[in-house]
Amino acid sequence: MAVRPADIAASREVAHPPGAWAETAGASLPEGTRLAWARGAMVELPRGQAPVLSWWAAEPGGGTPLVWADDDDLTWVYFGSQDPRLGAAEALSAVWIRRLMTSPQLATTLSGAFALFVIDKADRTILVIGDRLGIQALHYGRDGSGTWRTGTHLMWLLLASGHDGSVNEDGFLSHVAFGYGVDPHREIYRGVSVVPPSGYLRVGNDRCTADTYWSAPEPSRSSRLADAAPLAAILRSAMHAGIDRAGVFLGLTAGKDSLCLASAIAADGSALQSGTFGVAGCADHVQAAEVSLAQRWSHVAGGVCDEIEFFAWADHIALHSAGLSTASYVDMAAFVATHVPRGSAFVMGEGGECVRDFFGSEGRSPLDTLLNDYMTPVGYLQATLAGRLVGRLGAYPADLLEALRTATGTRDDRDFVSYFYRYQRMPGNFSLRHAVLSPIRPRLTPFLDARFIDATYALSTAEHASSEIHRRIISSAQPSLLKFFSAPVQTNRPTQDWPARFPRLARSLSDALQRLLPSSDDVLDPPGVVALCDAAIAQPSRAVYHLFRLFSFVTARAMLRQQAAERLATIEAECVALSPALPGTLTGPRAAVPSAGERLHPTGEPASSCAVLPD
């Protein structure tokens, strides 16, 4: 039986008391470090007051590891699943943190999806650092009272700030066009910014400055991969580098990224669990079963959500992504919650597409593939957007894509799509997957290991052709799996098969849309959205994917505009008051519910503070 969001209980217990070694299964963290399990983390800096660290508690072994420590002057917080000491043995030590305060470039040694906060209690300033590709999104903003908030959980930040869900129209248009935002500096919600890939933020003294600690290398025309064996070794070690070493759970599919990771970890004979979700008979199920059997791994084959599970998990997705993740993620979320053991890290293949020809398809140019297969058809936008936004589409999609090309510099088509995938699609799209999974289980992303990025991103994009880097890694690590690279399993059943499943839930979806759409009629045309849903019932098409995105957004909009107090009251946040010359004091849960007078104005401009503060 599938787990539902309500079954994911929160625990407010700190896993390791202050001053103790944070012992995990087979690993230990630096002395004085405390480990908690969290759905998200946030730091608030009210004007003239001490900073406050809060985290949204998750059940032990669920959610994401949150490691924190402090001394008289500083408190530091690491939110992520990969052990930061893989790249720097001294990472998270007090000495290393102090060096980081003046040299953010030290963060280049850190891998995976993470957020790092350093709070100077004496100066009342905050240093916030994100990962190389911005996969763990970091949001920040300031309200009318002068309170700064920065955190990993967008909806929590919006609720705590009393935000009414108003959007930047340019950002909203790019979101509905691609399914994710492509501006690396701001969210679609008005007044909320995002730390860009490889970015860091300094907040304090009524100022906020942002910069980057790493510059993306330009692909060399002549640089070629000399030896794939070191890359396989990097991927292998990254899969064994979770903060909590209870085990790893490899998500298997019929894709090349999954196969590449399977070959890397199979080379050392590791016993592990693997699993796949999807409809019966899909290629992912068939190939995953064959690969896991050949490697003698314990394997679980998960299904897809029924109608009741769909709406329960769609609510989870809207809540934990502020409506930016598509509701089609329901199957992935339910699978991870149901089948990945608590404490085990879910190994994800994302990022492998950054070094292969992801947009190469059926002889078309990469740019044509991006335009035709990965952008919402203009007819769907014209049918569902509010009138003034339809008028802003212009010569869509060409105008939008040209604006992106201009902003990213002069590149030929192949180099542009490679850049777009790494530094716009990765932080835009994959951060939304992590937003959904962060409250459920730890995640490891071996292709985002700093060593892998450094070894591959400067290679010529010619190396991406036919996924040559992947082929060589598999050949080096586990040649027996090459047969799946050359001839991957194919069936006539798509993994999720939404066109076939849609009619069974479409009537309920249409009813839900009609109930929720009034909260979003400033950016969407309610009759047009419902009409598109009804048309998709009669003739399922790509429209279902557009509808799933809109459903998630309108669900979140209703949370912000109609259910804010109720939703904020359910967040059991652990708060730590950070005062100079005193250790961080755990003050217990507190959910501040903003009154009507404290909410943001309908324009989206801040009115006053509604921070989560300790008593």
Instruction: Kindly report whether the peptide bond that precedes residue 397 is cis, defined as omega within 30 degrees of 0.
Output: yes
The verdict on 233 and 329 lying in the same domain is yes
- For 88-92, 217-221, 549-553, which range has the lowest pLDDT when averaged over its residues? 217-221
- Residue 275: inside a domain: yes
> Residue 582 sits in a domain of what CATH number?
3.60.20
> Residue 317 sits in a domain of what CATH number?
3.40.50.620
The verdict on 518 and 454 lying in the same domain is no
Rounded to 10 degrees, the C-alpha dihedral 299/303/304/308 comes to -120
- The H-or-E segment that residue 249 falls in is strand 248-251
The verdict on 444 and 348 lying in the same domain is yes
Question: What's the chain's Rg over C-alpha atoms?
Answer: 23
The verdict on 355 and 458 lying in the same domain is yes
What does the pLDDT look like over 173-203, one tens digit per residue? Answer: 999 999 999 988 889 999 999 999 999 999 9
- Residue 323: inside a domain: yes
Section 144-164 average pLDDT: 94
- Residue 385: inside a domain: no
Q: At residue 129, does pLDDT exceed 80?
A: yes
The verdict on 558 and 593 lying in the same domain is no
- Residue 298: inside a domain: yes
The verdict on 576 and 555 lying in the same domain is no
**26 dihedral zone (left: phi>0; alpha: psi -120 to 50; beta):** left
Q: At residue 394, does pLDDT exceed 70?
A: yes
The verdict on 240 and 213 lying in the same domain is no
Domain tally, the chain: 3
Q: Who contacts 343 (Cβ-Cβ below 8 Å, separation ≥6)?
A: 25, 60, 61, 244, 246, 247, 442
CA atoms of 134 and 199, how far apart (whole Å) = 8
- Pairing status of strand 443-444 against strand 248-251: unpaired
Q: At residue 605, does pLDDT exceed 50?
A: no
Extended beta strands in 431-572, E state: 443-444
What pTM was estimated for this model as a whole?
A: 0.91
- Residue 147: inside a domain: yes
- For 8-22, 36-50, 87-101, 315-329, which range has the lowest pLDDT when averaged over its residues? 8-22
The verdict on 553 and 470 lying in the same domain is no
The verdict on 583 and 517 lying in the same domain is no
pLDDT of residue 47: 87
Extended beta strands in 100-187, E state: 114-120, 125-130, 139-142, 148-151
The verdict on 210 and 343 lying in the same domain is no
pLDDT of residue 367: 86
CA atoms of 369 and 167, how far apart (whole Å) = 29
The average confidence (pLDDT) of the chain is: 88
pLDDT of residue 600: 34
Q: At residue 147, does pLDDT exceed 50?
A: yes
- Residue 384: inside a domain: no
- Residue 526: inside a domain: yes
The verdict on 320 and 436 lying in the same domain is yes
> 281 lies in which domain range?
229-364+430-486
- Residue 382: inside a domain: no
- For 72-76, 379-383, 421-425, 599-603, which range has the lowest pLDDT when averaged over its residues? 599-603
The verdict on 443 and 576 lying in the same domain is no
pLDDT of residue 3: 72
170 burial type by CB count under 10 A (0-12 exposed, 13-18 middle, 19+ buried) = middle
- For residue 93, what are its two tokens? 């030590």
Residue pair 419/128 in contact (Cβ under 8 Å)? The answer is: no
Question: How many C-beta atoms lie closer than 10 Å to residue 458's C-beta?
Answer: 13
